[in-house]
Amino acid sequence: MDITKDSQSMTAFRNHSAQFIQHLKGSGRPMVLTVNGEAAALVQDAEAYQRLLDLAADASAEEGIRQGLEDLVGGRTRPASEVFDEVRAASGIPR
């Protein structure tokens, strides 16, 4: 993102929103909206936002796996049957 190219005033965005939306879709880059010269909001098209969400979910899954492997190596694990027995007991679920 080039903040000098991808910044527009909120007023310009409001007055020409259809053109700006077209630009967002074409460029795939977010746009900073300013109020009195100060960054106030960031807008992006839905497809670019979905890509961002997907990247965040992938990163979160990778981090969870990394932590799980670290726990395994560090001996911080328990057998699943033990955990299930605890959950059943705490929830009053018969075996």
User: Tens digits of per-residue pLDDT, 50-79?
Assistant: 999 999 999 999 999 999 999 999 999 999
Contact 31, 44 (CB under 8 A): yes
Contact 57, 46 (CB under 8 A): no
Tokens linked to 85: 């027995």
pLDDT of residue 28: 86
Contact 20, 9 (CB under 8 A): no
Average pLDDT over the chain, rounded to whole? 92
Domain definitions of the chain by residue range:
7-44, 45-76
In the three-class reduction of DSSP (H, G, I as helix; E, B as strand; rest coil), residue 12 is classed as helix
pLDDT of residue 4: 62
User: Tens digits of per-residue pLDDT, 13-58?
Assistant: 999 999 999 999 998 889 999 999 999 999 999 999 999 999 999 9
pLDDT of residue 95: 82
CA distance 8 to 90: 56
Burial tier of 31 (Cβ tally within 10 Å: 0-12, 13-18, 19+): buried
Percent of the chain with pLDDT over 90: 83
